[in-house]
């Protein structure tokens, strides 16, 4: 984009965010007019003299100041500030045809809708009708607008794709003609975004299965269909490929269509080196010249593990099939890393009650954690800097600590810690002083604002927080949003070294919108020996279900259970909490 285009886009974004925040119409219009004027310029706006800028239509002193700021720094502080105040998913709603900022604002303030998923839920539950001027016709228009927007989307987040695939596998699996069905592809490998959903089935009646698949209610368009493969586009704009394979070849087909392509290539090379051939129909003995006899029966094909075994490998979990060292690690005879699994997770160490921006009371959140089989919960409401999230000031923290500790009597089986998710301010200092932090049982420190700050500053900021003796965990360390915003540009290796040195844990925020740390960073941190917390950042009951996305990310990062705080038994976890603060007091 041209410089003028960028500056204009920045003003347009300022206008949009201001509008969502309910700023007055004059200011919003002035920002829009500036955007249009700058866009239409034929010279570089950043190289113009102040007098020339002021002579332009709709450009006043504050606009000039913003342009000059952009010219020197490439950003606008006001924009950074506004972005931090408005949920990243909210502006996307403005791309829905016929949906204006006033309605989006009402959706946010009245119904707590923060993104497309939230809007869809509100439509599904009927809550949307509580908005003014939202009759049945408007809702229909809204639905059409959403479907259209989503058709044009690229990769979707795993948290959207997985429920779709699960419903499909469950429904089609109920058909009498379906012998076996499963999803593969990047979804099975647990990637944070999914290009399309790949489903594999064995069936006694492929045409009937394909017909059922094409006729599903959520299918918007059939892209291609035949005896062995059908591709459709759902109303939510997701492509789904369904392939039908013979039951006795399911394992080899599943292996092939799970990928990754790089992993498959290495697997085929391995087969060739052992005088065999591997494809989606099975693993075959090859002749001297490498050919497979016509009609030859496979050496292995029914289960993936049969094929792995025939190639001298233990079964490799899909999350680790990326050609990143798995062939050595899983060679028969080598000692397997004990990678963390769902069942290991018995603690939630980052959650919010209705004291800040959560939905549940202390007792509700503790009871939910207990019902999930957890033994420990740390309640970490927001600190005072998060005003829009009703962050707690010092006096409220003191009261809250007492209320959390009082819950211990009602849940004797649970280890309950009074904590905080304290803001890491832009200079790396924390939003509470040490005296207050020392009163808390558990401290998660997270970056929320200034997520576009310059890289050197961002590094110094995070290193300072990591070195703070009263901090247990760094929450969502980069502040990124998947498909949303890049977050802090950090020198991750330096962070991992510091986290290891200061024995500060790093979080995998399990929310599928965040997945922060991301998989590659988990691998880096785990290799250095850092401790990792996998937390759901619970605001509502359903957030506990985000855990699997965090665990998949951990597995993709080869996180050993021994380096995961949430996998510790209660005593060990408490001992870790105490020793973290050794020498402080």
257 contacts 200 by C-beta, under 8 angstroms = yes
Q: CB-based contacts of 269: which residues, under 8 Å, 6+ apart?
A: none
**Residue 326 interacts with Zn ion (CB under 5 A)?**
no
Q: Of the listed pieces 189-197, 205-213, 359-367, 413-421, which binds ligand DGT according to CB under 6 A?
A: 189-197
**Residue 198 interacts with Ca ion (CB under 5 A)?**
yes
Closest approach, Cβ 353 to Zn ion, in A, equals 11
**Residue 261 interacts with ligand DGT (CB under 6 A)?**
yes
Query: With respect to ligand DGT, which residue has the nearer C-beta, 260 or 390?
Result: 260
Query: With respect to Zn ion, which residue has the nearer C-beta, 191 or 350?
Result: 350
Single out the residue of 115, 160, 241, 543 in contact with Ca ion (rule: CB under 5 A).
241
285 contacts 299 by C-beta, under 8 angstroms = yes
**Residue 195 interacts with ligand DGT (CB under 6 A)?**
yes
**Residue 192 interacts with Ca ion (CB under 5 A)?**
no
Q: How many residues bind ligand DGT (CB under 6 A)?
A: 13
Closest approach, Cβ 329 to Zn ion, in A, equals 34
User: How many angstroms separate the CA atoms of 474 and 505, rounded?
Assistant: 6
**Residue 265 interacts with ligand DGT (CB under 6 A)?**
yes
**Residue 237 interacts with ligand DGT (CB under 6 A)?**
no
419 contacts 396 by C-beta, under 8 angstroms = no
Indicate if the alpha-carbon torsion angle 498, 504, 505, 507 is positive or negative. negative
Closest approach, Cβ 195 to ligand DGT, in A, equals 3
**Residue 257 interacts with ligand DGT (CB under 6 A)?**
yes
Query: With respect to Zn ion, which residue has the nearer C-beta, 31 or 397?
Result: 397
503 contacts 472 by C-beta, under 8 angstroms = no
Cβ atoms < 10 Å from Cβ of 202: 21
Please tell me whether residue 182 adopts helix, strand or coil conformation: strand
Distances (CA, A) of 21 to 116, 156, 201, 339: 18, 27, 49, 44
Query: With respect to Zn ion, which residue has the nearer C-beta, 19 or 423?
Result: 423
H-assigned helices in 183-239:
185-188, 206-214
Closest approach, Cβ 450 to Zn ion, in A, equals 17
Distances (CA, A) of 501 to 82, 142, 211, 308, 425: 35, 52, 59, 39, 22
Closest approach, Cβ 187 to ligand DGT, in A, equals 7
218 contacts 150 by C-beta, under 8 angstroms = no
Query: With respect to ligand DGT, which residue has the nearer C-beta, 232 or 445?
Result: 232
Single out the residue of 192, 198, 535, 537 in contact with Zn ion (rule: CB under 5 A).
537
Tell me the backbone φ, ψ of residue 509, rounded to 5 degrees: -75, 115
> Footprint of ligand DGT on this chain (CB under 6 A)?
185-186, 194-196, 198, 256-257, 259-261, 264-265
Give the interface with Ca ion as residue ranges (CB under 5 A): 185-186, 196, 198, 241
* Residues engaged in binding Zn ion (CB under 5 A): 421, 537
């Amino acid at each position: 984009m041209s410089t003028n285009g960028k500056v204009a886009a920045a003003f347009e974004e300022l206008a949009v965010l201001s509008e969502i925040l309910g700023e007055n119409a004059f200011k919003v219009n002035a920002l829009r007019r500036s955007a249009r004027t700058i866009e239409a310029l034929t010279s570089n706006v950043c190289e113009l003299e102040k007098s020339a800028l002021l002579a332009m239509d709709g450009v006043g002193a504050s606009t000039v100041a913003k342009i000059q700021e952009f010219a020197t720094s490439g950003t606008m502080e006001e924009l950074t500030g506004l972005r931090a105040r408005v949920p990243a998913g909210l502006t996307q709603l403005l791309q829905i045809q016929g949906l204006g900022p006033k309605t989006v604002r009402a959706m946010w303030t009245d119904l707590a809708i923060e993104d497309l998923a939230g809007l869809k839920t509100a439509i599904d539950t009927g809550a949307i009708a509580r908005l003014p001027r939202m009759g049945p016709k408007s809702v229909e228009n809204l639905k059409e607008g959403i479907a259209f927007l989503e058709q044009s989307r690229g990769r979707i987040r795993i948290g959207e794709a997985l429920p779709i695939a699960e419903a499909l596998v469950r429904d089609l699996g109920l058909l009498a003609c379906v012998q076996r069905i499963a999803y593969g592809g990047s979804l099975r490998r647990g990637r944070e975004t999914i290009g399309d959903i790949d489903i594999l089935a064995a069936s006694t009646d492929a045409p009937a299965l394909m017909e059922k698949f094409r006729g599903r209610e959520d299918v918007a368009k059939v892209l291609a269909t035949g005896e062995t493969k059908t591709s459709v586009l759902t109303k939510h704009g997701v492509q789904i490929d369904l392939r039908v394979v013979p039951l006795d070849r399911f394992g080899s087909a599943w292996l092939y269509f799970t990928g990754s392509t790089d992993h498959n290539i290495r697997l085929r090379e391995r087969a060739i080196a052992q005088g065999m051939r591997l494809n989606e129909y099975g693993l075959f003995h090859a002749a001297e010249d490498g050919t497979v006899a016509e009609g030859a029966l496979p050496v292995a094909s029914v289960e993936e593990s049969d094929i792995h075994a025939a190639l001298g490998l233990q079964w490799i979990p899909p999350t680790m099939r990326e050609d990143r060292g798995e062939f050595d690690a899983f060679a028969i005879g080598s000692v397997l890393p004990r990678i963390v699994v769902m069942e290991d997770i018995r603690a939630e160490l980052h959650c919010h009650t209705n004291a800040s921006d959560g939905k549940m009371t202390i007792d509700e959140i503790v009871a939910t954690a207990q019902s999930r089989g957890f033994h420990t919960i740390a309640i970490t409401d927001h600190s005072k800097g998060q005003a829009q999230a009703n962050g707690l000031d010092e006096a409220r923290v003191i009261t809250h600590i007492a209320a959390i500790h009082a819950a211990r009597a009602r849940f004797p089986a649970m280890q309950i810690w009074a904590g905080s998710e304290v803001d890491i301010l832009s200079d790396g200092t924390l939003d509470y002083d040490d005296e207050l932090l020392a009163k808390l049982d558990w401290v998660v420190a997270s970056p929320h604002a200034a997520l576009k700050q310059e890289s050197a500053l961002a590094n110094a900021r995070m290193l300072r927080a990591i070195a703070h003796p009263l901090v247990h965990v760094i929450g969502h360390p980069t502040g990124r949003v998947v498909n949303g915003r890049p977050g802090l540009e950090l020198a991750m290796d330096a962070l991992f070294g510091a986290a290891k040195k200061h024995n500060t844990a790093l979080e995998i925020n399990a929310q599928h919108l965040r997945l922060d740390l991301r998989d590659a960073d988990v691998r880096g941190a785990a290799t250095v020996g850092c401790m990792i917390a996998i937390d759901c950042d619970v605001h509502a009951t359903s957030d506990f279900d985000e855990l699997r996305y965090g665990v998949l990310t951990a597995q993709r990062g080869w996180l050993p259970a021994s380096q995961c705080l949430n996998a510790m038994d209660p005593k060990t976890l408490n001992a870790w909490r105490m020793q973290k603060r050794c020498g402080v007091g």
